[in-house]
Amino acid sequence: MSTTSPTLIIDQPGTQTAPRILPSSREVFMSLFKADLTTQWRNRRASVMVILLPIVIVMSWKALIEKTGGAFVLSNAITLGLNAIGIMGYSNSIARDREKEIFQRLRVAPAPNWTIMGSRIAVQLVMIIMMTAIVMIVGYQYDHIVLSATGYAAGMLTAIAGGAVYLALGQAIVGRITNPETVQATSRLIYIAFIMVGMFGELGMLGNFINKAVKYTPYGTVKAIVSGALTPASWTNDTTMALLITLGYTAVFAIMGIRWFKWSSKK
């Protein structure tokens, strides 16, 4: 990095104030990102658990591949992983750090608010990319699921788009609820509800109505776009509609999360 950064503001002669130094947003963001990445790495046990479930799904559903196709298995596994990262991992870590007043300490520094939360989200995006890549690799190595290069690339992009829904939902949870224990309980409830209704509903085990309704839930739409992207030939108008609904969910949850969010849990 240049030795002449930080940006220096020189006062005019004759004034009585000392020069003030304002760091660039990029410098601030990179400092936060490095620290948040280190924190995530030090909490790697929790990160491993988040990645473990999708791997278990991929490996245990090997027998289903012949019947439903590799994209179905991979998309379910990836969607579950996105669910865990956004709803469980992200919301709990934000609630825990807010309770410790870590955000208040950061906010008294000249760090724009967007860099503080943006860094956290960037770390979760790294987790999403890692999880998706690992699931694809395990799918290839263990289940012999082979996709096209376009399929892998598009699958990664839609995983990121789908991850945004769950990150936004996690933000909405932590925006609405300040108590970290309540955040943990609520996020677990939503996570389990999505798995039960989403996975089993789609398999038709909960009746026709649930089977149809699941397609419009965050679980169903994300699964649909990931599945459609992994095998681009199967992308239909319904998949496009699912993508639009996914983006809509992201926008709604993000607006809720930003408007409701309080930087401190103290009243």
Partner 1 sequence: MSQPLVILPIHRYSPATHRHLNPGDRLPLDPLTITPYLSAMNTSTSQPVLQVENLDIFYGSFQAVRNVSFEVRPGEIFGLLGPNGAGKTSTLSAAEGLIKPSAGTIHVAGYDIRREPLHARASMGVQLQATSFQPELTVSEIIVLYGGLYGIKLTMDKVMTILKDIKLQDQAGKRFGQLSGGQQQRISLVIATIHNPQLVLMDEPTTGLDPQSRRQLWARIEVMRDRGHGILLTTHSMEEAESICDRIAIIDHGRIITTDAPQSIIDNNRERPEVIAASRRGKITLEDVFIGLTGADVRA
Q: Which is closer to partner 1, CB of 113 or CB of 240?
A: 113
Nearest distance in Å: CB 151, partner 1 = 37
1 binds partner 1 (CB under 8 A): yes
Joined together, the tokens standing for residue 94 give 């934000």
* Contact residue for partner 1 among 64, 69, 101, 215 (CB under 8 A): 101
7 binds partner 1 (CB under 8 A): yes
* Contact residue for partner 1 among 59, 62, 69, 97 (CB under 8 A): 97
Tell me the C-alpha distance between 143 and 145, whole Å.
5
Nearest distance in Å: CB 254, partner 1 = 23
Q: By CB under 8 A, which span of 3-11, 71-79, 140-148, 235-243 interacts with partner 1?
A: 3-11
Choose among 133, 163, 130, 132: nearest CA to 247: 163
Q: CB of 51 within 8 A of CB of 130?
A: yes
* CA 170 to chain centroid: 8
Q: By CB under 8 A, which span of 5-13, 75-83, 146-154, 162-170 interacts with partner 1?
A: 5-13
Q: Which is closer to partner 1, CB of 144 or CB of 259?
A: 259
121 binds partner 1 (CB under 8 A): no
Q: Annotate the chain with three-state secondary structure.
A: CCCCCCEEECCCCCCCCCCEEECCHHHHHHHHHHHHHHHHHHCHHHHHHHHHHHHHHHHHCHHHHHHHCHHHHHHHHHHHHHHHHHHHHHHHHHHHHHHCCHHHHHHCCCCCHHHHHHHHHHHHHHHHHHHHHHHHHHHHHCCCCCCCHHHHHHHHHHHHHHHHHHHHHHHHHHHHCCCHHHHHHHHHHHHHHHHHHHHHHHCCCCCHHHHHHHHHCHHHHHHHHHHHHHCHHHCCHHHHHHHHHHHHHHHHHHHHHHHHCCCCCCC
Q: By CB under 8 A, which span of 60-68, 96-104, 151-159, 243-251 interacts with partner 1?
A: 96-104
Name which of residues 180 to 239 contact partner 1 (CB under 8 A): none
8 binds partner 1 (CB under 8 A): yes
37 binds partner 1 (CB under 8 A): no
Q: Which is closer to partner 1, CB of 19 or CB of 237?
A: 19
10 binds partner 1 (CB under 8 A): yes
Q: Which is closer to partner 1, CB of 6 or CB of 248?
A: 6
Q: Which is closer to partner 1, CB of 6 or CB of 207?
A: 6
* Contact residue for partner 1 among 52, 53, 64, 102 (CB under 8 A): 102
Q: Which residues bind to partner 1, rule: CB under 8 A?
A: 1, 3-8, 10-24, 27-28, 30-32, 34-35, 38-39, 42-43, 97, 100-102, 104-112, 263-264, 267
